[in-house]
Amino acid sequence: MESLIGAKVVVTGAGRGIGAALARRFAAEGAQVVVNDRHPERAGAVAAEIGGTALPGDACAIVPAALDALGGTVDIFCANAGIAPTGGPETPEEVWDSALEVNLKAHVRAARELLPGWLERGRGRFVATVSAAGMTTMIGSAPYSVSKHAALAFAEWLAVTYRHRGIEVHAVCPRGVRTGLHHVSEGSADLMLTSAAIGPEEVADAVLKGIEEGRFLILPHPEAADHAAARVTDHEGWLDGINVLQQRLEDRNRRATA
Ligand SMILES: NC(=O)c1ccc[n+]([C@@H]2O[C@H](COP(=O)([O-])OP(=O)(O)OC[C@H]3O[C@@H](n4cnc5c(N)ncnc54)[C@H](O)[C@@H]3O)[C@@H](O)[C@H]2O)c1
């Protein structure tokens, strides 16, 4: 891996949580970091802390301004911003649209805008914060599960298509991470944020290690590989197991409202 000293890095959704940890970690390695968040005060606070550049705004349309801020080149783009709405097919259309916009289409747009320059230079690195939900599922949230599967599929497609042309792609797939993301996910969040939950700094460590090792799939929780393997090799058993968790959640919610 090339040195991170002076590397031009963009992290979306970096005002808190995993994105903020990534921004801090890249800055600590000597990178020049653009800190994006749709909450300007969050982007400003993290940028001030790490000596980076705040870029408030929607991650879905951030690349031109990021290129401007970095003098026309991005070395590493971290498509990290994400939202986790709860619900199934009854979830309002606009909520489905937002999940697909932020969790998937922001990645597609960024790649569309960055690839021409990267292919010309023969170099570029795309880090997608996906989720273990992209390899398995997320109880209680169909828009999250579906958009994260799609984000993983897109990252894989990029890797398959451009690996031989100097483009490196990483898909980061953590399980529970202690951030503000799941405050709206009620019961399902408790199931994810079990004792296996880790801090955002551990995700950032795993990302740096994954970049160093040149790995596509970065699993801050190694057991996620076993869960994904079980899903493929014994899909019926895997579905039964997850459904038991779903039933447990329903029982608990019933007791809580009784
Ligand atoms: N927390 C977890 O358990 C967990 C697990 C697996 C994957 N992830 C993924 O990690 C990523 C970061 O999640 P987190 O847990 O740090 O969440 P978080 O909510 O703590 O932080 C996300 C930040 O992104 C910002 N953001 C959201 N939508 C945005 C947009 N359209 N444009 C710009 N900024 C936007 C928010 O304002 C927030 O500051 C997400 O993609 C999430 O799906 C999280």
Judge whether 1 lies within some domain. no
217-218 and 167-172 as β-strands: parallel, antiparallel, unpaired?
parallel
Judge whether 243 lies within some domain. no
Contacts of 3 (CB under 8 A, 6+ apart): 30
Judge whether 49 lies within some domain. yes
Domain span at residue 138 reads 8-223
Residue found by looking up tokens 């801050």 in the block: 220
Q: What is the CATH number of the domain that holds 142?
A: 3.40.50.720
DSSP state of 87: B
Rounded to whole angstroms, the Cα distance separating 42 from 170 reads: 25
Judge whether 244 lies within some domain. no
Judge whether 149 lies within some domain. yes
Give average pLDDT by consecutive 10-residue segment, the chain, 258 residues. Answer: 90 98 98 98 98 98 97 98 97 98 98 98 98 97 98 98 98 96 56 76 98 98 95 96 95 89
Task: Give the 3-state secondary structure of residue 92.
Answer: coil
Q: In the prediction, which pLDDT does 194 show?
A: 63
Judge whether 229 lies within some domain. no
Q: How close is the Cα of 234 to the center of ligand 1, in Å? A: 31
Judge whether 233 lies within some domain. no
Closest protein CA for atom 41 of ligand 1: 82
Pocket of ligand 1 from Cβ distances under 6 Å = 12-13, 15-19, 36-39, 42, 58-60, 80-84, 102, 129, 131, 174, 176-177, 179-182, 192
Rounded to whole angstroms, the Cα distance separating 207 from 222 reads: 13
Closest protein CA for atom 6 of ligand 1: 131
Rounded to whole angstroms, the Cα distance separating 11 from 211 reads: 15
Sheet holding 124-129, edge to edge: 53-56, 32-37, 8-11, 76-79, 124-129, 167-172, 217-218
Rounded to whole angstroms, the Cα distance separating 20 from 50 reads: 10
**Number of domains making up the chain:** 1
Judge whether 87 lies within some domain. yes
